[in-house]
Amino acid sequence: MAEQQNLEEKIHRLEELLKDQEMSAKLLVRRDLELARANQRLRDLDQVKSKFVSVAAHQMRTPLSAVRWALSMMLEGDLGAVSESQTRILNKALDSTNRLVRLIADLLDVDHLEAGKFIYTPTSFDITELVTSIADEASHSAKTKGVHLNVWKDQLPYFTIWGDPQKLRLAIQNLVENAIKYTPEGGEVTVSLLREGNETIQIQVKDSGIGIPQSDQRFIFNRFFRSANAMHTQTEGSGLGLYIAREIILYHGGSIRFESTENKGTTFFVTLPVVSKAAKTQEQSLASTV
């Protein structure tokens, strides 16, 4: 009799347990549905945001180009002589316009990267030439700022890179411009090109600037992230350059990292694969047979 009662109790508990499980399963299915809907809503919102950025940036690009063109014409005296004070103001207006043009280009690049529509046009090219021309272009702003810019090149038997020179220019230029931007007057920036074994080259951009605070270092490649010390030193900046630079370098099979100490300086290290001599010869003989 007692055994029978015990069994019934067990069956009852089992039935309760089954009911609980059924309830939990239903709850899980409902949660899953809610999450799927929330996910879809987020995706839709993301698309609206991307569309907005893309339309706004495209719409701003043309009028800004017209403003830039008009300012340049005035500065060159095409519309009549300009006084010294007018030149000063026109130059300021041109600088601000150029910054806006750059910001719009960055916004469009991020939008294209996220949508997988960032178009690369690869070719084989000389990385030494590219790095030298970036440093040459940057020398004017370094001089204006009173920052000493050095370039150091290793002897490079393998110097050919397979990739998009325009995009890599954008990435490396950003590192060099940042180094100058975040280094106070009297400081030093060194751009080096080193060979790493037979398969990779390393580009180093070293500065003696403000550095990146330890607590911020893990966020530095996030979109729109700027350190407090950077914002304090340089109000201008979008926090998009490093994000874009990293995407471009990763696309080329390379890597990017940095070492930094606050108030002492920062060094960025970019490693890129080079085209081997054998591949180059093969490529040349292929080109000659076409």
Strand partners, 206: 190, 267
User: How many chain residues are in contact with ligand ADP, going by CB under 6 A?
Assistant: 22
Q: Among 197, 178, 175, which residue's Cα sits nearest to residue 270?
A: 175
In the range 259-278, which residues lie near ligand ADP by CB under 6 A? Answer: 266
Q: List, as one string, the DSSP characters of 150-178.
A: EEEE---S--EEEE-HHHHHHHHHHHHHH
Rounded to a whole number of angstroms, the minimum distance from the CB of residue 265 to ligand ADP is 7
Q: Which amino acid is at 132?
A: T
Q: Residue 187 interacts with ligand ADP (CB under 6 A)?
A: no
Cβ distance to ligand ADP smaller for residue 230 or 274? 230
**Considering beta carbons, is residue 109 or 164 the nearer one to ligand ADP?**
109
Q: Which stretch binds ligand ADP (CB under 6 A): 93-101, 115-123, 240-248, 270-278?
A: 240-248
Whether the CB-CB separation of 178 and 225 falls below 8 Å is answered with no
Contact code string over 147-176 relative to ligand ADP, x by CB under 6 A: ---------------------------x--
Is residue 226 a contact point for ligand ADP (CB under 6 A)? yes
Cα 270 to Cα 215: distance, rounded to the nearest angstrom: 22
Closer by beta carbon to ligand ADP, 171 or else 275 = 171
Ramachandran sector of residue 116 (left: φ over 0; alpha: ψ -120 to 50; beta: rest): left
Q: Residue 256, interface with ligand ADP (CB under 6 A)?
A: no
Which H or E run includes 215?
none
Q: Which residues bind ligand ADP (CB under 6 A)?
A: 174, 178-179, 182, 207, 209-212, 220, 225-227, 230, 237-243, 266
